[in-house]
Each structure stands twice: as C-alpha cells, then as structure tokens.
Structure 1
Amino acid sequence: MQIDNLPDSLLIEILKRLPCQFVLRSKTVCKRWLSLVSDPFFIRCFVHHHQHDVNHSPPFTLVHQFYYWHHHVTETACRKIHAVSEHPILQTREFFLDFLPCFQHPDPWPIRIVASHGDLVVCHDNKLYSHQSKYYVCNLLTKQWRALPPIPGRHVEDDMAIGLVLYGDEYDLPMVSYKVVRILKLGSRSSHLISEIFSSDTGEWTESSLPCPPSIRRFWQFRTSAVTVNNALHWIINGNNGETVIVLDPFTGINGECRLIDPPLELKFEMAHVCLGTCREKLRMSTIKGVHPNRMLKVWELQDYENGKWLLQNRICLKEMVFVTDYQFDMLEFSTNLVLSFHPKDGDVVYLRCHNHIMKCNMRKGTLEVVTKCLGDPTFVIRTLTVFPLVHPCWPSLTA
C-alpha cells in the first residue's frame, strides 16, 4: 500500500512518533500533509505521545545578542544573533531577525531581543526619534511572529524593563497564552510602580499601578531582561540598601503584586556581575569572585521561594578547570569573565563568557568547552550583555 493511500488516522499514528524536526519538514511533502500536521488535533496527539516519553528532555538554546553601549547596533549586528543550541534544527542554522516586517523596509531599523520565556522571545524595533516603535512576539525556530498593537499614549523609553510570561494548560496548544509586561522608569519621589501589560487573550494593553516596597522608593535601574518562574517576573534592581531582586506577579490580585527577594548576603552590595536565572524551575544566582589566579565560580539556589532563603550549591576555582577540546586559552588573564546563564535542566552546567568566547562549564566534572565566539568591543561591560535562555517544548509554541 502506498503511503498516499493511508487513511488520516493511520498517518497520524505514524507521524506522531517521529521527532519534531522531521514532522515540521513533512509539511512540504504535499497539501494533505501540511493540512494534517497543522491541525490542532494532530498537534495535541503529538504532544500527548511525546510528553509520556521518559527519555524526552526539552532541548535548550542560549541566545546572546551583543549590542554596543556607546552607539546603536549596526544593521549586521542587529540582524544576526549568537546562539548555542541543543535543538537539531537550530544547531545548523544561523540566527537572523530579518524575517520580521521591519526588515522589509528599504531602510531597516535596529532591532533587538528584549525578553524571553519558554521558546518565545519579544523583539523591539528601535526606530530612533519615533513614537511608532513596535514589539513582536516571535518563535526563532519556526520564524512565526505577531506584532503587538501600539501602547496607548506611550512612547518607547530607554532601558525599559520588559518581561514575558507564558501560561495556561500546557500553554493551551496549539496556541499559547502570554503576557508581555513593561515597567516604566520612575523618579525618586514615586511610591508606585507603573506596569503596562499586553495580554494575548484580549489583544490589548492595560496599565496597572502597584505600591513600591519602601526600600526602592528612589531612582532605580533594572538589569537586562526578566527571569520568569512561578508565573512571575524577576529582575535585579538597585535599592536603598544595595541591589536586590524585584518580583512582579501579573496574575495576583486586581493589578498584580510586587515584592522583593533579598540576594545571598555575600552578594548584597556587589551584584554588578551577578547572573540571575533558573534551573529546574528554581531561581539561581551566580558570580565569579576573587582576583587572579584564584578566581572562584559560585552558584546559589533559592531553596525557599516565599521566605527568600538561598543555599550555596557550587564553589569551584577556575584555575582548576580543564579544557575538553584542543581550542583553549588562558581565561584567567581576562578580567571579563562573566556567568551568562544556567542550563534549565542540568544543575551542573553553566555558560560563561570570557572575553569574546562563550564556554560551557560543567562544575561537577570541572571541565570547560568553548562553544562559540561572539562580537568583541573594547568598551564591553555588563550592561551590554543580553542573554536569553530558551526551552523548546516537544511542539513549538505558536503566537498567532
């Protein structure tokens, strides 16, 4: 029997057992397969089958977009981003953002990624001196995107704090529900935090006002993008008593809830080079401390989320690390050794940036592996760092 003669029910049973990358490619076989694979019923069958596979572990992608602190990114830099991926499709693909509509304009504007959660990212096309800048929610794997509507009465402000939260029952496949949150920079006399929230369920932006914790009632500045865990957004922020973690939960109460989590005592007043992230759905912090040649990599995990209790998980000296490939150099001679991200599932793995290299560090094995090189800049500082960890579900999230 030719495969074209198979009934849909049998074809579904065959296709749902294939890896996702082969099923996605099968859309190009014929119109029938495209219709079948795109049907929500097939997607639910596929997800149900693979979620019960004990050997399945969602692939991880680390996206790193470098931008210059002293000038706006060039067209080349803003179109291409660096990535380290476990996904079989993304391992062989260069990352570009030129599938977004702003690049169809004869004079493309700088664009950068500003937030992520799950396998989706939020991109912002930063048209200078314009009130028409837009946000896009994108899937870098499928190159699917959705343009968000303009924010009523607002224009884009520099260093805006942005976050993305995916939610729902298994993200309500095949479509996902999500919220994009912007927090406005406030002055020293403000006692409230103003957030603007876009909901994919309503297709609209709403504005909320939340009381600020007293310790941050002065001029403050958010660090990089939000870390999403427990359906809440987390940023490192400077306060009256050193830097801390601010938490915004857009689902609690009428307008949401805002609170603080103190960092480990050792980091209270020196969080300039601290990485905030998640591993196995728990918040983590990490930094590289000390001076050459005894620089130490340290990792803390938040064991008690409600009471803010941290536990030191790892402490390892960089000079004791061993390179697992022939490509190696003396990383200790560089002062820009930074922790970029945690692996979302493997608690032993963190990713480091040393000068112009991104390295995979296995703390249990004591090994280092150079995974990619990235753009260099003599004025490189922590505030030029934008890192976005993506976790790919068994079926890619749709944004439309």
Structure 2
Amino acid sequence: MESLTEDLWTMVLARLPIKISTGLKIVCKQWKSIVESPFFREVFQSMHQNSSSSSWSLMSRFDEDPEIVGHYQCDTWGLDRSLGSFIKSFLADKQQKHKDQRVSVEAYSDVGLILIHVESTDREKGVIYVANPVSRECVEILIPDPLPKRFGTYEYSFLWQWGLVTRTENGVLLGYKVILIDKLLRDRKLSCRIYSSETGLWSLETFHLPYSFNHHYFSGYPISLNGNLHWLGWNNDRHDIVLSMDMYATCTGSDRCRVTPFPDLEKTTMFKRFCTPCQGFLMYMNITKVDGSLEDKLCLWKLQSGGWQLISEISPDLTLAGLDCSPSLMINPLDAKTAYFWSNKQERLLSINLHNGKKFVIHNQFEARIFLTRQRERESFDVRIYYIPFILPQWLHRIPNTVSIKQPLTTTAILHG
C-alpha cells in the first residue's frame, strides 16, 4: 500500500461516503493532505454526480417528527437513517446543555447547515448555533441583546424571523450570515440584525421593499439559496408572490429586494403554491387548467433574474392518481425531472417524470431510498408556513472559522440603505 501514488489513493478514497472523510484525515498526514485537496473534491464530485446520490427531506416546523418525505441511504453521504433523526439527536444534545430553555431549529441553508436557537432566560442571554447535524460540527454565537418586547410585557415572537445564508465559491463554503428580521414594517423598510462569519460582528441593516407589506403576508421559513432569502407570501392585493432579498449584494436600497408574482395567477391551480430549491434555482410546479382546453397541465417553472421561465409542460393521467393538496408535493432538489405527490386514494407516495411522464409511479412506504413518515390530516395548514425543504449538498462544506469578537449591538452599528 505504501507504493500507491497520491492519484491512486485519491481514486480509492473518493469512493467512500462524505461522512467518513473527517475520520480519514486522522489516519495519516498523507490522507489528510489528499482529502483536503481541491483535486480530491473534484474527483469525489465527479464520482457522485448521480442525481440520486444525496439526501434531502421536507421538514415540518412544529411536529415532533419533523419529516414528511425524504431520501436517504445515498452513496454520497452513506447515511443509514433520515435527516430528521440526525436533527432530533443534535437538538437533544443541545437541550441537555441548556436545561429549562427552549431549543429549536429556526432556519435551513442550501449547503446542509441549520440554525439552532436557544431562547434567552433571566439568567443568560440567548445563544444560536450554526451546525451540520450529520457531521455534528457547530459554531456557537451569542445573541448580543435580548429581543425587544412589544405591546407592553408580551413578546409577539411571530414578528421576528430567523434566516441563514451562505457564500460559496468553486464548491467551497467561504462564509455565512445569520439574519434576525424585524417583520414589523415601517414605511416599506425592513430592519435586520445580521451576524457575519467573516467579521464575527453583529450589525444593523435596513432593506427597502418595492412596496408596503403587512407582516401577516410573510409566510413561515424563508428558503435560503445562493446568498438570497426567498419568502412565499402575498402582496396587498392578496396575490401569491415570491419576495427575494439578496444578503450579499453590494448595492443598497430597493435593488437588494425583488418581488416576483407567480406565473399562473390567472389560472385555476390544483395545489397551494410552493417552491423547491433545485440545482441552484428556485422551482415552482403546479397542475393547472389550460385556457380553452379541458386537459390538465403539470407545469414546471424556474425563477431567474428576469422572472419565471417555463421548463416543462406535460399532461399526466390523473384518473387513478387521487392526488391530495398536501405538503408532500415536492420537486426532487437534485433532479428537476422528478416530482413527488401524496395520493389519498393510493395512500402512497407517487412520483412522475416532469419531462415526458404520463403515468405516476407508486412508491412503497418502506422503500430504502424514498420514505414517507405519515400523512398529516391538516388541510387547513398552509404548506408555505409549516414546511421547508432541507438538502445535503454533494460535498461536505466545513463551517468557516469565525472571528471571536463579542460586540454588543449599539446605535453606532452599520446602517445600509
């Protein structure tokens, strides 16, 4: 074995799952050098570029069992259980450390990181963790000041929203930002407290929205993608829109915020509108009635800077599908050709090829790679408020080292816009 060249070792080690790579580094200096090299990352990603080789889940915000539908046992990560179980285990460990305090997941990122919030008590300030629940790597960050209370002594927690965005380059995670958003709008201005891993400091920033919103029009978790936060909500006319905020843009003012109406507002749709991050884009899918036709169309759109682009349009056979308007409606985050639905009639998870499919494929509940935990009977719940996609990338993004500076937030903090 000592006679093997580094190229051959790279070819051998790159066939192992990501989860093992951390352990490989402590075997010897040669392996550590190989695993940390850009060449190893390129070889690994080329070997695991199959669309079915990473893990993802549709997470619920309030359930004890957070996952609705998910994919695991992939070659890339080598997981033997679902992402939800890793998150629950990680939360249990933090709960042991912070007894008598509420510990919860507040945000998910597009590079497999989550944001854990430990609510403050009279004894200590609040703490947040940026963490990878699978590798169990985490960074602890102190919240500089307690959240202000509104309306006397009662705190309206729904007026605060957490977010987590990341900055990557050539497949390497360079930094992240933790965002605490004050959803009580004032004159189309949205105030945010932002922690940057690159400075180790909290700052204040103000975002100028294109027009006035009511805080009730923001829905649930924002979707983090490419340094942007995307909310699904409504404008003042109660039309479904996507509000996008660029957290890494160098410009100021309203150029950092964009409101995009959904492309099928004039059509009758079967499902509540819901988006999925897929292959670096925000995707939207629905079944609509086409003007002048009795035929249903399953349409897929991709959000770009210029608006929604129609990717595919097919006419599936809905006769035996028995589809339900449930939150298990989802596009495969790594394969834009595959979509999943829940069928009340079949009591099974269905999938379909969005490019040329006519028939739905019925999945067994106990398949190793695709699973469904259970069907919630909550038709009154809005999918945009209670569910969020969570995806592990096809590479292990190590959390960047942060500058250890604990600075209280003051009126001299940075203001933008």
TM-score bracket for the superposition, by shorter chain length: 0.7 to 0.9
Other-structure match for 1:327: none
In 1, are the aligned partners of 2:110 and 2:393 still within 8 Å (CA)? no
* Correspondence for 2:56 among 27, 52, 62: 62
CA contact (8 A) 2:125 2:142 kept: no
Whether the 8 Å CA contact 1:58–1:391 is kept in 2: the answer is no
Query: In the alignment, which residue of structure 2 is the partner of 1:393?
Result: 394
C-alpha distance after superposition, 1:274-328 (max 9, x if no partner)? 11123333332123457xxx9956333247x33324426224445257xxxxxxx
Shift, 1:47, TM fit: 0.9
1:219-368 → structure 2 map (5 Å cutoff): 219-241=215-237, 242-253=239-250, 257-266=256-265, 273-288=272-287, 296=296, 298-302=298-302, 305-311=304-310, 313-317=312-316, 319-320=318-319, 331-332=322-323, 335-338=324-327, 340-354=329-343, 358-363=349-354, 364-365=356-357, 366-368=359-361
Cα 1:46/1:314, change in 2 over 3 Å: same
On the 8 A contact 2:159/2:184 being kept in 1, the answer is: no
Select 2:14's aligned residue among 19, 27, 41.
Answer: 19
Given that 1:102 and 1:108 are in contact with CA atoms closer than 8 Å, whether structure 2 keeps it comes out as no
Q: CA deviation at 1:142?
A: 1.5
* Amino acid paired to 1:253: T
Helix, strand or coil for the counterpart of 1:201? coil
SS of alignment partner, residue 206 of structure 1: strand
* Identity percentage of aligned residues: 17
Partners of 1:84 and 1:91 within 8 A in 2: no
Residue 203 of structure 2 is aligned with which of 178, 196, 206? 206
C-alpha root-mean-square deviation of aligned residues, in Å?
4.0
On the 8 A contact 1:233/1:249 being kept in 2, the answer is yes
The 1-side partners of 2:216 and 2:375 are apart by 29
CA distance in 2, matches of 1:139, 1:239: 35
Partner deviation per Cα, 1:223-269 (whole Å, 9 max, x = no partner): 23333445322211211122211111112235571121121143689
- Choose the corresponding residue for 1:123, options 116, 123, 128: 116
1:162 shift after superposition: 3.7
Is 1:32 the counterpart of 2:30? The answer is no
* Residue aligned with 2:195, SS: strand
Q: How many Å separate the matches in 1 of 2:139 and 2:52?
A: 24
- Structure 2 unaligned regions, length at least 5: 149-154, 364-369, 402-417
**In structure 2, which of residues 44, 63, 81 is the aligned counterpart of residue 50 of structure 1?**
44
> 1:276/1:377 Cα in 2 relative to 1: closer, same or farther (>3 Å)?
closer
Q: Structure 1's 178 and 359: CA in aligned 2 closer, same or farther, altered over 3 A? A: farther
Q: Which amino acid aligns with 2:20?
A: R
Work out whether residues 86 and 134 of structure 2, in 8 Å CA contact, stay in contact via their aligned partners in 1: no
Using a 3 Å threshold, how does the CA distance of structure 1 residues 92 and 232 change in structure 2: closer, same or farther? Answer: same
User: C-alpha distance in 2, partners of 1:153/1:127?
Assistant: 7
Return the offset for 1:63.
Answer: 1.8
Match of 1:324 in 2: none
In structure 1, how many angstroms separate the alpha carbons of the residues matched to 2:220 and 2:387? 6
Residues 113 and 130 in structure 2, CA contact (< 8 A), matched pair in contact too: yes
User: What residue in structure 1 maps to residue 412 of structure 2?
Assistant: none
Q: Aligned partners of 1:265 and 1:27: how far apart in 2? A: 46
Any conservation in 2 of the 1:126–1:133 contact (CA below 8 Å)? Answer: yes
Checking the alignment, whether the CA contact within 8 Å between 1:357 and 1:374 is kept in structure 2 is no
CA offset digits 1:319-345 (Å, max 9, x no partner): 257xxxxxxxx634xx43345432234
Q: Does the 8 A contact of 1:284 with 1:299 survive in 2? A: no
SS in 1 for 2:27: helix
Give distance in 2, aligned partners of 1:159 and 1:90: 39
Cα distance in 1 for partners of 2:30, 2:68 equals 33
How far apart, CA to CA, are the structure 1 residues paired with 2:373 and 2:393? 23
> Aligned to 1:32, what secondary structure does the other structure show?
coil
96, 102, 106: which one aligns with 2:94 = 102
> Residue 74 of structure 2 corresponds to which residue in structure 1?
87
8 Å CA contact 2:56, 2:389 repeated in 1 = yes
Contact 2:14 2:40 in 1 (8 A): no
Residues 205/295 of structure 1: CA separation in 2 closer, same or farther (3 Å cut): farther
**Residues in 1 aligned to 2:287 and 2:319: alpha-carbon distance in whole angstroms:** 14
* Matched-pair contact (CA < 8 Å) for 2:184–2:190: yes
1:146 aligns with 2:139: yes
Q: What is the aligned partner in structure 1 of residue 411 from structure 2? A: none
The CA distance in 1 between the partners of 2:286 and 2:122, in whole Å, is 37
Query: Residue 127 of structure 1: CA displacement?
Result: 7.2
In structure 1, C-alpha distance between the alignment counterparts of 2:214 and 2:78, rounded to whole Å: 43
TM-score (norm 1): 0.74
Q: Does structure 2 retain, via aligned residues, the 8 Å contact 1:341–1:352?
A: yes
Match of residue 163 from structure 2: 163
Match of 2:190 in 1: 193
**What's the TM-score once normalised by structure 2's chain length?**
0.72
Partners of 1:119 and 1:397 within 8 A in 2: no
Evaluate the alpha carbon distance shift between residue 163 and residue 340 of structure 1 in structure 2; reply closer, same or farther with a 3 A threshold: farther
Is 2:130–2:140's contact at 8 Å kept on the other side of the alignment? yes
Q: Deviations over 1:204-237 (max 9, x none)?
A: 22221122212x3434432233334453222112
What is the one-letter code of the residue matched to 2:177? K
Pairs aligned (count): 369
Cα 1:176–1:103 change in 2 (3 A) is: farther
Provide closer, same or farther for how the CA distance between residues 47 and 319 of structure 1 changes in structure 2, counting only shifts above 3 A.
Answer: same
Counterparts of 1:85 and 1:13, CA distance in 2: 29
